[in-house]
Amino acid sequence: MVIPEFDRTPPPTPHPLPANLEVRYCRSYLLDLKRLDLAAYRRLYQVTVADLSAINQVSRLSGLRPLGGSTILYRLTLEGYLIGIEIKGRIIKLFRVLPQSRI
């Protein structure tokens, strides 16, 4: 029996998504966001709630990197915070936001 070789190269940059992109927020993400100081909360809220809903290409997010070899899980580095993101089709789900020092 031949075991297939798996390509270990990182996945390509995410493809453009439809304009009717849907953004969802996990409870853990919202709780993490509420625990931040007010200045950090405002900056991250602006980017992840207002700006993310307006884009139609995920590849326009600078700092977006795949998690391990996954094709749906990503991390977004933003102003000293790591944001966990899941991308499935036209749905983007934010599941954690943590200061980089805690990782």
- pLDDT at 74 (0 to 100): 92
Report how far residue 94's alpha carbon sits from residue 103's, in angstroms, rounded to the nearest whole number.
Answer: 17
- Give the orientation angle of helix 38-45 with respect to helix 27-34, to 10 degrees: 140
> Tens of pLDDT along 2-23?
444 444 444 444 444 445 678 8
- pLDDT at 8 (0 to 100): 41
Number of folded domains that form the chain: 1
CATH number at residue 36: 3.30.2310.20
Tell me the mean pLDDT in the region 99-103.
72
Give the Cβ contact number of residue 2 at 10 Å.
4
Report how far residue 28's alpha carbon sits from residue 95's, in angstroms, rounded to the nearest whole number.
Answer: 6
Q: Is residue 16 assigned to a domain?
A: no
Q: Is residue 1 assigned to a domain?
A: no
pTM: 0.70
Domain hosting 39: range is 22-102
Q: Is residue 49 assigned to a domain?
A: yes
Q: Is residue 12 assigned to a domain?
A: no
Does residue 61 have a pLDDT over 70?
yes
Q: Is residue 47 assigned to a domain?
A: yes
Report how far residue 7's alpha carbon sits from residue 67's, in angstroms, rounded to the nearest whole number.
Answer: 15
Q: Is residue 6 assigned to a domain?
A: no
